[in-house]
Amino acid sequence: MHRYFFEISYNGTHYAGWQSQPNAKGVQEVVENALSKLLRQDIEIVGSGRTDAGVHCEQQFFHVDVDQELDSILFLGRLNAFLPKDIAIQSVHPVKEDAHARYGATERSYEYRITLKKNPFLEGLALHYFKSLDVQTMNRAAALLVGQQDFESFSKVKTDVSNFRCDVKVAEWRQNAHLLIFHITANRFLRGMVRAIVGTLLDVGAGKLTVADFEKILKARDRKMAGMNAAPYGLFLTRVAYPESLFIQKVIA
């Protein structure tokens, strides 16, 4: 058997997230169907993580085991021809047989994008937030997220994890004219974590919460104390990082 990492990007508007739901289609199902048709065998893929319904992805990986060697560039073109316009495979990477798309990842990065001015070209790709925000105070609160700590206050209540500890490397807001983007990088993320953090930080920026309030919420380990989840369509998974030692050869189209 040969194991490959596939780099994927997608617009999540019309999907129930990475995994399919009982009455809705997920990105994983669409890709598995395309691969199964191309390879003429039942294919199951293992993703680097999950995204919620409506969330977008600029870079994610999944691994596949196949019983034949693939011509990466040729197969890339054929697979993309089978996929809908809102899903694209960006590259194919032969990897070592024990490389794992989920457990081998060392870091993941997300962006949450907000437009402070109505923009038809960002419809469905950024949250339009029309109230005034104190970005400097939001960044003071965001700085409290950095480090290894418990993020249960920002996790969905029903989730199958053994602990809520994450090691956040970066958490900051950057503004360019009317576009405001929250950047966060960590070793792992809990379900709903980024959207809950963003929703709570927006309450800080709007003056509903102080930085001290935010710190209390973080330490409380109680989801009911945090703010509402920000809308899914403003969220992008932007990067998944792996050790170079996992790759046999890197092929990018």
Q: Active-site residue numbers?
A: 52
CA distance 187 to 239: 12
Which distant-in-sequence residues (6+ apart) come within 8 Å of 121 by Cβ? none
CA distance 135 to 175: 8
Beta strands, E only, the chain: 2-10, 46-47, 56-66, 87-94, 107-115, 127-128, 147-150, 165-176, 179-186, 235-241, 251-252
Phi, psi values for residue 123, rounded to 5°: -60, 125
Instruction: Annotate 170-226 with DSSP letters as a single string.
Output: EEEEEEETTEEEEEEEES---TTHHHHHHHHHHHHHTTSS-HHHHHHHHHHT-GGGS
Question: Can you tell me which residue has the tokens 């997220």?
Answer: 145
CA distances from 148 to 69, 165, 170, 189, 192 (A): 41, 7, 11, 12, 18
CA distance 231 to 164: 22
Residue 89 C-alpha from the chain's centroid:
16
**Contact predicate 91/58, CB 8 Å:** no
Vertex 24, ends 22 and 26: CA angle to 5°?
105
